[in-house]
Amino acid sequence: MFRFANKEFLYFFAGIPVLIVIYIITAYLKKKSIKKFGNLNVISQLMPNVSHLRPHIKFTILIFALTILIFAMARPQFGSKLIEAKRKGIELIIALDISNSMLAEDIHPNRLERAKQAILRLLDQLENDRIGLIVFAGDAYTQVPITTDYVSVRMFLSNINTDVVSRQGTAIGKAIRLANNSFTQDVEASKAIIIISDGENHEGDAIKAAEQAKEKGIKVYTIAMGSRDGAPIPIRSGYYQKGFLKDQQGNVVTSKMNPKMLSQIALAGGGKFYYATMTNVGLNKLFNDLSKLNEIEIDTKVYSEYEEQFPAITWIALGLIILDILVLEKKNKWQKYFKIFKV
Q: What is 84-301's CATH topology?
A: Rossmann fold (3.40.50)
- On the question of pLDDT at 151 being above 50, the answer is yes
pLDDT-wise least confident of 2-6, 96-100, 292-296: 292-296
Q: CA 267 to CA 273: how far, in whole Å?
A: 8
- Burial class, 286, CB count within 10 angstroms (exposed 0-12 / middle 13-18 / buried 19+): buried
- On the question of pLDDT at 59 being above 90, the answer is no
Q: What is the pLDDT of residues 190-238, one digit of tens each?
A: 899 999 999 886 766 899 999 999 999 999 999 999 888 889 989 877 7
As annotated, the residues of the chain forming the CATH 3.40.50.410 domain(s) are 84-301
Q: Is the pTM of this model over 0.85?
A: no
Cβ–Cβ under 8 Å, residues 134 and 146: no
Higher pLDDT, 245 or 173: 173
Mean model confidence pLDDT for the chain: 83
Higher pLDDT, 220 or 78: 220
- On the question of pLDDT at 21 being above 50, the answer is yes
Categorize the per-residue pLDDT at 282 as very low, low, confident or very high, splitting at 50, 70 and 90.
low
- On the question of pLDDT at 343 being above 60, the answer is no
Most confident option among 62-76, 90-104, 283-297:
90-104
Cβ–Cβ under 8 Å, residues 77 and 307: yes
pLDDT, position 300:
60
Cβ–Cβ under 8 Å, residues 110 and 35: no
